[in-house]
Amino acid sequence: MTVVSIILGLIIGSFLNVVIYRLYHGGSILVSRSICPACRRHLTPWELVPVLSFVFLRGRCRTCHKKISWQYPVVELTCALTFGLLALNYQSPVSNVQFWIQLVFASFLIVIAMFDLKHYLILDKVVWPGIILAAISGIWGGHFVPSLLAGAGLALFFLLQYLLSQGRWIGLGDVKLGLFLGLVFGWPLTLTCIALAYFSGAAVGVLLIGLKRKQLSSQLPFGAFLGFSGIIVLIWGPAITGWYAKLIGL
Residues forming contacts to Zn ion in the complex (CB under 5 A) are 36, 38-39, 61, 64
Question: Of the two residues 49 and 204, which places its CB atom closer to Zn ion in the complex?
Answer: 49
Contact 134, 112 (CB under 8 A): no
Question: Of the two residues 39 and 202, which places its CB atom closer to Zn ion in the complex?
Answer: 39
- Please give the span between the terminal C-alpha atoms of the chain, in angstroms, as a whole number: 36
Question: Of the two residues 39 and 132, which places its CB atom closer to Zn ion in the complex?
Answer: 39
Residue 68 CB, shortest distance to Zn ion, in Å, is 9
Taking the C-alpha atoms of residue 42 and residue 46, their distance in angstroms, rounded to an integer, is 12
Taking the C-alpha atoms of residue 180 and residue 201, their distance in angstroms, rounded to an integer, is 19
* Rg of the chain (C-alpha set): 19
Residue 53 CB, shortest distance to Zn ion, in Å, is 13
Residue 57 CB, shortest distance to Zn ion, in Å, is 10
CB atoms within 10 A of CB 145: 11
Which residues are 42's β-sheet partners?
35
Residue 133 CB, shortest distance to Zn ion, in Å, is 36
Quick check: helix, strand or coil at residue 33?
coil
Question: Of the two residues 64 and 245, which places its CB atom closer to Zn ion in the complex?
Answer: 64
Residue 64 CB, shortest distance to Zn ion, in Å, is 3
Question: Of the two residues 42 and 119, which places its CB atom closer to Zn ion in the complex?
Answer: 42
Compute CA 57 distance to the chain's CA centroid, rounded to the nearest angstrom: 26
Give the relative orientation of helices 222-247 and 71-88 as an angle to the nearest 10 degrees. Answer: 30
